[in-house]
Chains A and B, each alone.
Chain A
C-alpha cells in the first residue's frame, strides 16, 4: 500500500514537472517566433561613423537584357546566389533549393537574384534560356550578368559576411550559399544552399523578415 502511495506521489511530481517543462518550451518557442533577424556583416565606417554593413551599388543586366540595380530590387527583400549555367557540380542543387524558395514565396514580395560567375559564357540570351527551362521569369527571379570584375566584387562583398561568420576559407565560386538581403541592403540571413534542412530554416527566416516588413 505504502509503495503504491509513494509511486502515486512520484507520478504527481512527474506530471507537474512535465507540465512545467512543456509550458517552458511553449514560452521559449513563442519568444523565438517573435525574434527579428540580426544585421550580419562587419560594420562599415562612413564619414567617421560606424554603420551596419550594406550591399554596395551595382548594375547588371538580366535575362531580358534589362538593367537591374539595387533600386529595382530594394522594393522588398531578395535572396541571392552565385552560379553559372554550365556547372555540373553543386550549382544544380542550389538552383533546386532556390526553386523551392521561389515556389514557397510565389505570392509574396520576395525576389530572387542569381549572379553568374561566368559572364563570358552566360550572356543574357543564355540566361533567358536557362530561366525558361526552369519555368521562371523576371522580375520575380533575375539572372544577372555583366562585367566580370564587378560580379567578382559584388560576390566578395556578399561573401565576406558569410566567410567571416562561417570561418570558411575563400573560394567563393565553390560556395553554395543563399543569402537574404532586406530592402535596406542589409544581409539578414544565409544558408547552405546544398543542405535541404538548412534551407528549411532559411525559409522560416524569410518569413520572419517578410512579417517585419509588413509592420
Chain B
C-alpha cells in the first residue's frame, strides 16, 4: 500500500515537472513586460524589440536582471535592428520575481536558453549601476 502511494506521488511529480512552466514568471511577464514585448515575445515592429529568438537577449543574459530592475535608456541593436525606445525599470520587483521572469522568458516560445538561479540574479544585480 505504502509503496503504491509513493509510486503514485512519484508519478504525479514526474508529470508536474514535465509540464513545468514558470507560472509566476508568466504572470509577472504578462503584468510588466507583455504590453510592449507582446504576449508572444515578438515585440512591436521597430518600436519594441523581441524577446523571442532575440540575439541581444540571449547574449546579454547577465544584464537582463539589471534591465528589468532599472530599465534601459541606451540604443540597442537586436537581430540587426536599432531600438531606441527607452524602457522603464520595475524596482518594485524582488530578486525572486526577476528570476522567475527571466526563467519564464528563457523557456517560453522558441527560446531554449539555460535557466538562471536566484544566486546568479543576485550576483548580476550587484553589478547594476
A interface residue numbers (CB < 8 A to B): 85-86, 88-90, 92-93, 95-96, 99, 130, 132-135
Contact = CB atoms under 8 A, between A and B. Distances in A.
B13 interface: no
A92 B33 CA distance: 11
A92 B87 contact: no
Contacts of A132: 46
Interface in B80-129: 85-88
A130 B35 contact: no
Given A89-B35, A90-B35, A95 B87 contact: no
Chain B, interface residues (CB within 8 Å), range: 10 to 19
Contact of B45 (A89, A90, A99): A99
A85 B47 CA distance: 10
B42 to A, nearest CB: 10
A91 to B, nearest CB: 8
21 contacts: A86-B86, A88-B36, A90-B35, A92-B35, A92-B47, A92-B48, A95-B44, A95-B47, A96-B38, A99-B44, A99-B45, A130-B47, A132-B46, A133-B45, A133-B46, A133-B85, A134-B44, A134-B45, A134-B46, A134-B47, A135-B45
Contacts of B88: 88
A96 B46 contact: no
B93 to A, nearest CB: 14
Interface in B48-74: 48
B9 to A, nearest CB: 40
Contacts of A89: 35
A93 to B, nearest CB: 5
A95 B88 CA distance: 18
A92 B34 CA distance: 9
Q: 5 closest A-B pairs (Cβ-Cβ)?
A: A133-B46, A92-B36, A133-B47, A88-B88, A92-B35
